[in-house]
Amino acid sequence: MTRFALLAVALTLAACAPKADEPPSAFDGFIGDATREIVADSPELATRAGLGPELAGVGFKAMLDDRSAMAVDRRRTMALRLDAQLRGFDRKALDEDEQVTFDVLGGQFRAAARGAAFTFGRFDEESFSPYVLNQLDSAFLTLPDFLDTRHEVQTLLDARDYVSRLGQVATAIDAETQRARLDVAAGVTPPDFVIDRTLAALDTLIGTAPANQTYITALRRKLEAVVGPLSPQPPPAGAEAPAQNAVELSRARELLAQAETIVATKIHPAHVRAASFLRSIRAGAPHDAGIGRLRDGASYYAAALAQQTTTTLTPEEIHAIGLRQVQSLLGELDGALRVQGLTEGPAGQRLAVFSADPRHQYPQTDEGRTQLIADVNARVSAIMARAPEWFGALPTSKLEVRRVPPLLEASQSGAYYESPSLDGAQPGIYYVNLRDMAQMTKIDLPTQDFHEAVPGHHFQIALAQEQQKLPLLRRITGFNAFAEGWALYAEQLVDEMGLYQNDAVGRIGFLRWRLWRAARLVVDTGLHAKGWSREQAIAYLLEVTGDNPAVVVSEVERYAVWPGQACGYEIGRIEIERLREKAQRSLGPKFDLKRFHDIVLLNGSVPLPVLETQIDKWIARVR
């Protein structure tokens, strides 16, 4: 799944600059004003995207987002206002390109406005979820990674900004704790298992010495890249010590000492306060996993589904689609497993036996982890060599494969992708979770690579960002169903192009991943619309997928805190496949697969109905 790849729409609004030699229209003015307002509100977003002070404001590199209740209420108000302002424009009076922008913004703004109607939980213009403190994206989890991977330190001034941001981390954590406290008072308490998982992450941080925290290890690494070793080190025998600027070295040591003091005296106590609060509500926490137990829970889930799928499908319809897909895929898996000599028992049971075979696992050692990363890089290279057969355009942005930071391993999914920055300073990053090598089998890993890296998220996101001729909006905006639907379609494309011909084990993994995405439709709607318990969801996924129990538990607990998100995957894939079949039927021998992919990818991320409109226009042009 993508992390921070679905950038807030505000950033993307800078897209619509007036055409050359034309005065700015009222529509242009609206886009520009909204851009400045929302980007200035999110220094972290501006940093991730590689924007400058002209949009984000002077000094934004020394600031973090305001996570206070007042700030979140202000963003909800802004979302409602932007939606109303956009609807005030006459779409028919806009030119063709502006109409596409209007439609894309309309999908984003309408969904955000629906989410803004609920006054609890997490909220921004790209998504909303019910629990402020959770095991996925609370500030105490995301900020160490943000400062490590996204805050560049090329000078001591950059390092000073880093320390300034570090000084605001405790405020951010306390703000989220206070918002969570207000939510509990209003009747919105996370399930007990979410509290337990979140507490486990907090306790790990509390028990880690300041010098070993990611905040400090990252800053030390960045400073040493600028000024050299911070600790005196004797040169090798016969070699001279490298020359270092004594003033810069002294200043770097001061900054590192300041950072350690901040972690010890401000951030550590904030972690303790957050953990203490969670412990205080644990005894009274519900065990129900779904949001149907909350006041207006059904309306909340309907709004979440609309945002995450960009469709009007109901929970019942999505549940039924999932059940049909599961049955179809179980039949296909039955045949593939029989070829491997596994003929007895349900497909899920046989998959569990197949996964436990040591031949399909990496050793739980440093050598095993090194080999896994090497295998991933080899597959990425193989896809890039074949990609010109399937795509007219290829991304120029670099892609790096990295291990998930140890702090996040326990709570995060098996893998995720972070997009490149617009300025090219940051590559796209494919993170692989190596917490337990038994969860990263040779059965499942290839398909995960194709989904998260190439030709999945990296192609979709990097290519969109690189289309300089497009408005910035269509280069950067993100929709879950489009992004995850493309990544699933990319998995399918690799199979169609024969890359599993000599890898029967990997193809079983591909089918199991397909089965997982179909089962997610069943489980997500089961939890949030049909009253399924956590245990019922776990049992269903274990029976159907035969996957590692720890993986299944982590996934179910993820769905509990992020309603609807898991449904965007298969719904998006089904739609992209349907549109390709529609184009093939309409164009016959004139159908060009490369051109189809270019039409899908080079127009940026869009709601699924807008994608169909673009494909229909392409079909009409070709005909």
Q: Note the pLDDT tens digit of each residue in 167-201.
A: 999 999 999 999 999 999 999 999 999 999 999 99
Selected residue with higher pLDDT from 333 and 603: 333
Q: Is residue 176 included in any domain, yes or no?
A: yes
Q: Binning pLDDT at 50, 70 and 90, where does residue 71 land?
A: very high
For residues 523 and 415, state if they share a domain. yes
Q: Binning pLDDT at 50, 70 and 90, where does residue 21 land?
A: low
- In the predicted structure, residue 526 carries a pLDDT above the cut 60: yes
Give the per-residue pLDDT at 472. Answer: 66
For residues 185 and 265, state if they share a domain. yes
Give the per-residue pLDDT at 423. Answer: 74
Q: Is residue 4 included in any domain, yes or no?
A: no
Give the per-residue pLDDT at 7. Answer: 43
Q: Which residues contact 270 (CB under 8 A, 6 or more apart)?
A: 140, 169, 170, 173, 174, 177
Give the per-residue pLDDT at 234. Answer: 61
Question: pTM of the full predicted structure?
Answer: 0.91
Provide mean pLDDT across the span 404-421: 78
| Number of compact structural domains in the chain | 2
Would you state the structure tokens that stand for residue 367, as one six-digit string?
A: 């050598």
Q: Could you report the per-residue pLDDT of 30-45, keeping only the tens digit for each?
A: 888 887 888 889 999 8
Pairing of strands 122-123, 128-129: antiparallel
For residues 262 and 396, state if they share a domain. no
Q: Is residue 599 included in any domain, yes or no?
A: no
Give the per-residue pLDDT at 465. Answer: 87
Q: List 429's β-bridge partners, or say none.
A: 400, 418
Q: Computed from CA positions of residues 530, 532, 536, 537, in that sequence, does the dihedral angle turn out positive or negative?
A: positive
Residue 314: how many CB atoms within 10 A of its CB?
13
Q: Binning pLDDT at 50, 70 and 90, where does residue 13 land?
A: very low
**Which of these, 470, 420, 465, lies nearest to 15 by C-alpha position?**
470
Selected residue with higher pLDDT from 471 and 108: 108
- In the predicted structure, residue 572 carries a pLDDT above the cut 50: yes
For residues 268 and 347, state if they share a domain. no
Q: Is residue 116 included in any domain, yes or no?
A: no
For residues 410 and 335, state if they share a domain. yes
Q: Binning pLDDT at 50, 70 and 90, where does residue 216 land?
A: very high
Q: Is residue 480 included in any domain, yes or no?
A: yes
What is the domain range of residue 195?
A: 132-233+247-287
Contact 450, 458 (CB under 8 A): no
For residues 160 and 228, state if they share a domain. yes
Q: Is residue 145 included in any domain, yes or no?
A: yes
For residues 356 and 332, state if they share a domain. yes
Q: Is residue 13 included in any domain, yes or no?
A: no
Give the per-residue pLDDT at 54. Answer: 87
How many angstroms separate the CA atoms of 559 and 547, rounded? 17
- In the predicted structure, residue 470 carries a pLDDT above the cut 80: no
For residues 274 and 343, state if they share a domain. no
If you count DSSP H runs as helices and E runs as strands, how many of each does the chain have, helices first? 28, 5
Q: Binning pLDDT at 50, 70 and 90, where does residue 15 land?
A: very low
Give the per-residue pLDDT at 11. Answer: 41
For residues 312 and 263, state if they share a domain. no
For residues 212 and 313, state if they share a domain. no
Give the per-residue pLDDT at 548. Answer: 87
Q: Binning pLDDT at 50, 70 and 90, where does residue 48 land?
A: confident
How many angstroms separate the CA atoms of 508 and 616, rounded? 35
Would you state the structure tokens that stand for residue 349, as one six-digit string?
A: 């049971």
Q: Could you report the per-residue pLDDT of 128-174, keeping only the tens digit for each?
A: 999 999 999 999 999 998 999 899 999 999 999 999 999 999 999 99
Q: What percent of the chain has pLDDT over 90?
A: 79
Phi, psi of 618 (to 5 degrees): -65, -45
For residues 344 and 268, state if they share a domain. no
For residues 272 and 322, state if they share a domain. no
Q: Could you report the per-residue pLDDT of 443-462, keeping only the tens digit for each?
A: 999 999 999 999 999 999 99
Give the per-residue pLDDT at 406. Answer: 75
Provide mean pLDDT across the span 469-489: 84
Give the per-residue pLDDT at 395. Answer: 94
- In the predicted structure, residue 12 carries a pLDDT above the cut 70: no
Q: Is residue 58 included in any domain, yes or no?
A: no
